[in-house]
A = this chain, B = another copy of it.
């Protein structure tokens, strides 16, 4: 079979590009996937305990993009799911992000409404006009009590750096709610695929013009077959240009420690954060998210690490400078028909909906008349 397009990577970005090219342009698409499964980091599977789990951590879909919501609903049905997270602090489980209940539970206040919450917050926050680091950002947004209880050590664990060494941006976006809304996300659309993510990807890729080759390294493939088609590359951009610039972009990763139990529930919530205790940052119990029933459960403890799969770009000056160099090379490469799409190719932390959006936008940009 002769292919018109090669897509490197079969996660959200690759699968979406492939689907669009096959469906709208009737192109023959070959997806090369290094791993032994489709779906990228969304990949989920039934483990030996019979529980549907996500190999690369919980994935919670949420979006305000009508276009993305409409798109994902073409392929499979999605169940409404409203994600909530609690943090275990001083033996209490308090909702995250911070809202009135968080403060009342944690600090024994009796705040009753928005006006009182705003008043209380105003007595807490440290007035810092231009926070210079994450600590200053945290203090200026929630004040020292909440910062110490919920953010300081969590940030340290997550990034292996003191918040004083991290850019203000890291904590700049902590949502603080002055009402009782304890949803983790505020997006209009919040849902989980009714049959799991892997099944969703199977449906997304179910087109006669799309062929997926698993366990296939693109760079090895090119050595053998050459490359005379358009290429959509969704892998790490530093890997693509390794022969030009021998430096690596830094990523923070997570080691997932799965544990199986022969009883219905391990914990009361889908996600329990441990900001101050333990080496792991949180414990995820998938059944709360999938609403799977039965007498078995599987959890995963998440240990942040510098080893492993690339998850969180480390937005230091060094890395951003390096990425800028890669970006210049990428712009030149586009002239040869190689396009860089997605999280790893753009060195950005995309939420799932942003990854879909980025892929759809890239497709529209490259094929404006489709």
Contact = CB atoms under 8 A, between A and B. Distances in A.
B181 A291 contact: no
Interface string A273-295: 00000000000000010010000
Interface in A177-228: 179-183, 186, 188-190
Contacts of A91: 291
A264 interface: yes
A112 interface: yes
Copies in the complex: 2
A46 interface: no
Nearest to A105: B80
A368 interface: no
Contacts of A263: 261-265
Interface string A16-41: 00000000000000000000000000
B80 A108 contact: yes
Contacts of A92: 79-80, 291
A370 to B, nearest CB: 28
B268 A288 contact: yes
Nearest to A107: B80
Contacts of A81: 105
B180 A110 contact: no
Contacts of A58: none
A104 interface: yes
A181 B183 contact: no
A interface, over-half SS:
loop
A137 interface: no
Nearest to A266: B264
Nearest to A79: B92
Nearest to A186: B112
A52 to B, nearest CB: 15
Interface string A110-135: 10100000000000000000000000
A269 B291 CA distance: 13
A346 B269 CA distance: 41
A95 B31 CA distance: 43
A112 B188 contact: yes
A152 B291 CA distance: 25
A101 interface: yes
Contact of A264 (B180, B181, B267): B267
A186 B100 CA distance: 12
Contacts of A182: 180, 182
Contact of A266 (B179, B265, B269): B265
A86 to B, nearest CB: 11
A246 to B, nearest CB: 48
A101 B183 contact: yes
A288 B93 CA distance: 10
Contact of A104 (B82, B179, B262, B265): B82
Q: Which 10 pairs of residues, A with B, have the shortest CB-CB distance? A: A263-B263, A265-B265, A180-B181, A80-B105, A110-B188, A82-B101, A112-B188, A268-B288, A80-B104, A80-B108
Interface of A: 79-82, 91-93, 101, 104-105, 108, 110, 112, 179-183, 186, 188-190, 261-269, 288, 291
Given A79-B92, A265-B268, 12 more contacts: A81-B105, A82-B101, A82-B104, A91-B291, A110-B189, A179-B179, A179-B181, A180-B182, A182-B182, A263-B263, A265-B265, A265-B266
